Amino acid sequence: MDMLGTETAFEVLAKAKALEKQGRDIVHLEIGEPDFDTPSNIKEAAIKAMQAGYTHYVPAAGILELRQAIAEYLSKSRGISVDPDAVVVTPGAKPIIFFSILALVEPGDEVMYPNPGFPIYESMINFVGAKPVPMPLKEENDFRFDNDDTAAKITEKTKMIILNSPENPTGGVLNKANLEVVADKVKNRDDVFILSDEVYSQMPYEGKHQSIASLPSMKEKTILLDGFSKTYAMTGWRMGYAAMRKDLAQKITQLMINSNSCTCAFTQMAGIEALRGPQTESKRMVEEFRRRRDVIVAGLNKIKGITCKKPQGAFYVFPNVKSFKMESKKFADHILQKAGVAVLSGTSFGAYGEGYVRLSFANSVENIQKALKRIEETVKEL
């Protein structure tokens, strides 16, 4: 158990809540979830489903109609053909990360993953006794991995390559050349899988989302992970899914049987409405995130000592705070204690996050402006 990591966002949230209990006013920019309510058509679909009796066990891989809706959505959005039998629905996107690594990775295998990146990747790689091989995402490269470095790190021991685009925590988006380098190196390897975490697929601010699964020969090698949490503001509903090789889908389903039995039945019925119903609310949310992104990036760049790249996707900024010559964790703590703004240290996302902090802009423009003002006043004294 000592090998298992964690997600610091929840720890910082607890610290911030403790300060609030003491009467402090805290602006929450630490947690990665849309601040919008789940669209009402989706909530109504869940209520109707509950009343119609969807309150019992359902198939472990997911209700067929939902898997059909997901297969249609993935086929259309990624330009590939996905069969409902290749889809597994899980309580959140996270279990797919957990199950895929558990199912495919053996002690001693190498797993490549973005760093800074979603902390659960490194945690799970370590947990199964595999070797984590970081793919550094650097600011000077717009938080994309270096193609030559990545190509050189793919060895005969590589078992899995984890990609995440748009990326948490940097807001970076991989380009076609990045995807092609990986695809070229693994297309003739039967022993390598790609875990492509695309939970922010509906939130690119420039151009269209690209999936490695769309490249020739890559669909069968890719576990294409997406979900409802971010796109439809459904974090608390717990529902995600992935499309993968059918034989692997059966094994992941078996892990579902051994752990959860199935994903909540009425939540799944609401998922059908989310995918097939009107998309206006979800699109409006993305437009609002774009507006907030512009506010927070401009505001941070005005603060002496902070520089911030414009994220190309997701709802996070990853400003550079190296000029303060403080460890990121200390800097983040200082901002929480002194400014009353909860942010995460870049190192919560891996060693390559040193020198940065992550701010989520899934908060109102008013709160973002309040946070910017307080940060500016606090860092003046450093």
Ligand X SMILES: Cc1ncc(COP(=O)(O)O)c(C=O)c1O
Handedness of CA 201, 207, 208, 209 (dihedral sign): negative
Cβ atoms of 164 and 114 within 8 Å: the answer is: yes
**Min. distance of Cβ 230 from ligand X in angstroms?**
7
**Min. distance of Cβ 92 from ligand X in angstroms?**
3
- Closer of 195 and 249 to ligand X (Cβ): 195
Pick from 221, 251, 255, 237: nearest CA to 95 = 255
Scan residues 199-218 and list those touching ligand X (CB under 6 A): 199
C-alpha span between 28 and 363 (Å, rounded): 8
**Min. distance of Cβ 48 from ligand X in angstroms?**
23
Please tell me whether residue 296 binds ligand X under the rule CB under 6 A: no
Interface residue with ligand X, options 134, 172, 227, 313 (CB under 6 A): 227
Structure tokens, 118 = 């979603």
**Min. distance of Cβ 299 from ligand X in angstroms?**
23
169: cis peptide before it, omega within 30°? yes
- Site pattern 358..377 for ligand X (x: CB under 6 A): --------------------
Cβ atoms of 371 and 340 within 8 Å: the answer is: no
Interface residue with ligand X, options 27, 30, 32, 87 (CB under 6 A): 32
Scan residues 245-274 and list those touching ligand X (CB under 6 A): none
- Closer of 74 and 303 to ligand X (Cβ): 74
C-alpha span between 344 and 317 (Å, rounded): 11
* Residue whose C-beta lies closest to ligand X: 92
**Min. distance of Cβ 10 from ligand X in angstroms?**
11
Residues 6+ apart with CB under 8 A from 133: 110, 111, 112, 113, 153, 158
- Closer of 93 and 248 to ligand X (Cβ): 93
Pick from 63, 43, 42, 25: nearest CA to 256 = 63
- Closer of 32 and 353 to ligand X (Cβ): 32
**Min. distance of Cβ 167 from ligand X in angstroms?**
7
Please tell me whether residue 313 binds ligand X under the rule CB under 6 A: no
- Closer of 271 and 299 to ligand X (Cβ): 271
**Min. distance of Cβ 7 from ligand X in angstroms?**
8
C-alpha span between 51 and 55 (Å, rounded): 8
Exposure of 164 by Cβ count < 10 A (0-12 exposed, 13-18 middle, 19+ buried)? buried
Please tell me whether residue 197 binds ligand X under the rule CB under 6 A: yes
Interface residue with ligand X, options 68, 75, 175, 235 (CB under 6 A): 235
Interface residue with ligand X, options 164, 196, 210, 360 (CB under 6 A): 164
Residue type, 228: F
CA 183 → CA 47, 151, 189, 217, 309, distances in Å?
43, 10, 10, 8, 28
- Closer of 169 and 355 to ligand X (Cβ): 169
3-state SS, one letter per residue, for 16-27:
HHHHHHCCCCCE
**Min. distance of Cβ 316 from ligand X in angstroms?**
9
Scan residues 57-116 and list those touching ligand X (CB under 6 A): 92-94
- Closer of 182 and 303 to ligand X (Cβ): 182
- Closer of 110 and 197 to ligand X (Cβ): 197
Q: Give the three-class secondary structure for 40.
A: helix
Exposure of 103 by Cβ count < 10 A (0-12 exposed, 13-18 middle, 19+ buried)? middle
**Min. distance of Cβ 94 from ligand X in angstroms?**
4
**Min. distance of Cβ 212 from ligand X in angstroms?**
15
Interface residue with ligand X, options 98, 118, 205, 349 (CB under 6 A): 118
∠ Cα 335 347 343 (to 5°): 30
C-alpha span between 241 and 92 (Å, rounded): 7
Q: What is the contact surface with ligand X in residues (CB under 6 A)? A: 32, 92-94, 118, 164, 168, 197, 199, 227, 229, 235, 240
